[in-house]
Amino acid sequence: MMMENLDKNFEVLYHERSLHVEVIRTGKQVLYRVMSADGQMALFLTRAKDAEGYYFWTSIPEGRQQLAEEIGVLIEAYIQSSS
Amino acid sequence: MCYYNGVRVTRAEFIRLKQLEKAIAKLNFLNKPLLIGFEYTNAPVLKRVAGRQDFEITEMEWGFLPPYLKNREAASKFRHGYKDDSGRFHPPITTLNAVGEELLLPGKMYRDAALHRRCLVLSSGFYEWRHVHPLGKTGKPLKTAVKYPYHIFLPGQEVFFMAGIWQAWTDKDTGETVDTFAIVTTAANKLMEQVHNSKKRMPVILTEDLAYEWLLGDPDEERIKAIATAQYAADKMSAYPIAKDFRSALDPMEKVEYPELAPLI
């Protein structure tokens, strides 16, 4: 599976910390790589569909659900505001 | 129905998310075919999430830094060596690798990390030099060896795990905190004895079961030592020579034939 980095990186503000978000497209799927400036936070997020068909934010791999939901909302807001 | 991150998802969605996990593991290697230790670069590492049976993929600085180093200047002296005021040279201390057999010895810099901060270093292959001593006019081998770099990989496995240990390090001048790591090494197997024939060492490459135990298990000291000295099977590894200037090559993994070089047995 090949991945492609898109030139659509941006920043979001999370609890007064600036997070760098890198958009990565793999096939038809989109991943968001989130990095803090001090390198302390590095995680991958994506939007997934639950069993009822509703979208939710999740970390890849599992284990950072709360963070995924909180930062995912910020990413979504950025994308909506810039589209 | 399955659960991913505690949310109920369909089996198809679960499989898709699991496939994304694998894709992420490969991501850094597609962008970065070559990591050179002495550049103290960042590398992808699997690190346990504290207190949970889970891990995250993160980037750490290759080159274990003990907490007592006060700032980047001290870290640079530690890594590269330095002359003190009297002109005496203090040699560098290389912490890219940690000797598996010595990890847990009392007083060792790596002991606490081996007990409490083990990690998995993701790799798609690594590089070592084979030393060959050509015959001189007298028919005896010359003292100076010719060095041939080799690319070593696991056929059929794009990404594999090396045992690592990590240490958070803070620059007390700036407050910068980074996670640093060392790759654990063990005695060379039959293949690596021929390739890395000057030191006869190799990284500890872990099977999936051992990788799980190293990262998420609760091994006692004896078991940690056993895993830290595990030798991956030579017949599941492969190696071929590459360009002597591979560090600057466009494709550092390109195979190069050296007519004078005897094949590996």
Q: CB–CB of A61/A74 below 8 Å?
A: no
Beta pairing, strands A17-26 & A10-14: antiparallel
Q: Count other C-beta atoms under 10 Å from residue A58's C-beta.
A: 27
Q: Which residues of B touch A66 (CB under 8 A)?
A: none
pLDDT band at residue A7, thresholds of 50, 70 and 90?
very low
pLDDT at A5 > cutoff 60: no
* Interface touch B7/A48, C-beta < 8 Å: yes
Any residues with CB less than 8 A from the CB of A4 and at least 6 apart, and which? A24, A25, A26
A79 inside 8 A of chain B by CB = no
ipTM for the predicted complex: 0.84
Of B73, B176, B118, residue with least CA distance to A39:
B176
Question: Considering only residues 43 to 72 of chain A, which have any Cβ-Cβ distance to chain B shorter than 8 Å?
Answer: 43-44, 46, 48-51, 56, 58-65, 68
* Interface touch A60/B24, C-beta < 8 Å: yes
Q: Which residues of B touch A39 (CB under 8 A)?
A: 42, 59, 178-179
Q: Which residues of B touch A65 (CB under 8 A)?
A: 5-7
**B160 class by beta-carbon count within 10 Å (0-12 exposed, 13-18 middle, 19+ buried):** buried
Of A28, A56, A27, A30, residue with least CA distance to A44:
A30
Tens of pLDDT along chain B (265 residues) come to 688 888 898 888 888 888 788 777 656 544 444 455 555 677 888 888 887 767 777 788 899 999 999 999 999 999 999 999 999 999 999 999 999 999 999 999 999 999 999 999 888 788 888 998 888 888 888 888 889 999 998 888 777 889 999 999 999 999 888 999 999 999 999 999 999 988 999 999 998 889 889 998 899 999 999 999 999 999 999 999 988 877 666 566 778 888 888 888 8
Q: Count other C-beta atoms under 10 Å from residue A42's C-beta.
A: 20
Domain ranges within chain A, ordered by starting residue: 4-82
Can you tell me which residue has the tokens 């001290």? Answer: B74
- Domains of chain B (ranges; CATH) run 40-248 (3.90.1680.10)
